[in-house]
Amino acid sequence: MSTDAPAKHVDHSAPKQVGSEDARSWLLVGASASAPFSFDDAGRSRADQIILDLEDAVDPSYKGTARLAVIDYLGRGNRAWVRINSAGSKFWADDVDALSGVASLAGVMLAKTESQREVSETFHRLGSAVPIIPLIESALGVESATEIAKADGSFRLAFGSGDYRRDTGTGNDNLAMAYPRSRLVVASRIGNLPGPVDGPTVGSSHPQLREQVAVSVSLGMTGKLCLDLEQPNVINECMSPSPTDVAWAQKFLEDFERGGRIIRDGSDKPRLSRAETITARAATFGVSGS
């Protein structure tokens, strides 16, 4: 796959605030007592959304300290998502109780989700008002994805690709990982949720990141987790419509209007839907046609 495509015409002069439903880049930030300024760095990044991590990035002995750091950051009016520990862990209840009623909490990512009940219990314990992103990281979670997508509070599915590979022994290649990604895409559609968020790419190679994002997009995923401050720009660019696509969509819609919005054949409705989607996403992300 070529990685030499020209950069898309995205306006970076004044970053647009991209809501969670449309967010492309989701920056995971470890809630470490040894890195007290990492939250602020993340908040100034190009990531569409940031997620403060109370789960895998935190040693069990520091969970309480990390939780206090998260509450302090949110208490200063900073808005962010928080990845909490799994519903089956001993840390889940303390995470949920600490976050209940925090006004600047954007939502919760629930680690290692494997059932609809786990999502619903988390949602209701948080007051039935905080959106939940179930992070699906196991074979059982993937097979339960449709029911998870329909749970009370489910906002958008996310794929924990690394833990899924560990759980199943699956190789880290596109063919092997196509099934779980497609399951989450189909489950999201059935649950009437936005496209799911793919797992992170480990490493700093931008060509590799571009290639993996292209695979995610081709399967219908519309967001991606990231682990460092250099990745959001690349993800945002690759998950936005290309200028060529935007120009095609604009021309199609103009021709459709001039033609009296008359359906001429069976291909018009799918093309109309695609053109409208591209145009809406281009407006959201500030992409202009070429």
The tens digit of pLDDT for each residue in 133-190 reads 999 999 999 999 999 999 999 999 999 999 999 999 999 999 999 999 999 999 999 9
CATH superfamily for domain 25-238: Phosphoenolpyruvate-binding domains (3.20.20.60)
Amino acid type, 125: R
Tokens of 18: 């991209």
Using the predicted structure, report yes or no on whether residue 45 has a pLDDT greater than 60. Answer: yes
Q: What are phi and psi of 133, to 5 degrees?
A: -105, 105
Amino acid letter, residue 123: F
Low-confidence winner among 82-86, 132-136, 242-246 (lowest mean pLDDT): 242-246
CA 82 to CA 71: how far, in whole Å? Answer: 10
Local confidence band at 44 (pLDDT 50, 70, 90 cut-offs) = confident
Distance CA 216, CA 210 (A): 10
DSSP helix/strand/coil, 133: strand
Residues of the chain with CATH 3.20.20.60: 25-238
β-partners of residue 49 are 26
Counted residue by residue, the chain has a size of 290
pLDDT, mean of residues 192-205: 92
Mean pLDDT, the chain, as a whole number?
90
Phi, psi torsion values for 80, nearest 5 degrees: -160, 160
**Position 195 pLDDT exceeds 60:** yes
| Separation CA 84–CA 89 (nearest Å) | 10
pLDDT 10s digits, 21-35: 999 999 999 876 555
Q: What tokens appear for 13 in the block?
A: 């002069």
* DSSP character at residue 154: B
Mean pLDDT of 209-216: 96
When pLDDT is averaged across residues 259-272 and rounded to a whole number, the result is: 85
